Amino acid sequence: MKLYHYVPKGSRATETGLFSFAKSPRVNLDYYIKRSGCHTQATIAQWMDGFFPGYSRGVRVLKEPLKWHPKCLRLKEFIDENDLLEIDVTALHKAGLIEAVYYNPPLRVPQNKKEEEQLLHEIDNRKQDGFVKITLADISTDPVDYSVCDDESGRRFAFLPFYLLVMKDGVIPPKYLKIIHK
């Protein structure tokens, strides 16, 4: 099984590995400080792990390479500005490096302005990130509906499903990574 992750162009992930929040040497704390009230990488990692064990050692992955839709040109920009990594999840699993797998279902698509405002309020105030523990076999093979992405909503990824691979040591080693799109 292959899963996917985007990294900034020029990333050295295929040499150094793909780091989780807890292990990243260059993490931007601003978003997490606002959400957690914590001020260091270590205390934010503890806060994250309060949602479920290993959250801070998780790497977000997609089940397929992103496909942009005319309603979401920002998604196209994201694809063009990043390199796509293919992760050999079968080999990671065989090596015993995956501790757990979680699924983050996409948010429902609001049907009107009132629903959109309510949804944005829920996103900003939710205490739990919505993850559900699954097995690798539970990862869906159904195609993703990219038509739900919409530049106007300002939520490029919120309506797309993704997964979290909780790594035992918080890093996907480079030998399990391959750049497939530059």
Condensed to tens digits (0 to 9), the pLDDT of residues 34-51 reads 989 999 999 999 999 999
Question: What is the distance between the alpha carbons of residues 172 and 157, in angstroms, rounded to a whole number?
Answer: 22
pLDDT per position as a tens digit, 145-175: 887 777 776 666 777 889 999 999 999 999 9
Nearest Cα to 149, choosing from 162, 135, 138?
Answer: 162
CA distances from 34 to 25, 47, 48, 90 (A): 20, 12, 13, 36
Report CA Rg, the chain.
Answer: 16
In order of 52, 64, 99, 119, the CA distances from 127 in angstroms are: 12, 28, 23, 14
What number of other Cβ atoms are within 10 A of residue 27's Cβ?
Answer: 16
Token pair of 7 as six digits = 């990294």
In this prediction, residue 127 carries a pLDDT of 45
Cα 66 off chain centre by: 12
pLDDT of residue 59: 98
d(CA 84, CA 153): 25
**pLDDT value of residue 16:** 96
For the record, the structure tokens of 15 come out as 């040499």
Structural domain total, the chain: 1
8 forms beta bridges with 82
Q: Which structural domain, as residue segments, surrounds residue 17?
A: 2-181
Contacts (Cβ under 8 Å, ≥6 apart) of 50: none
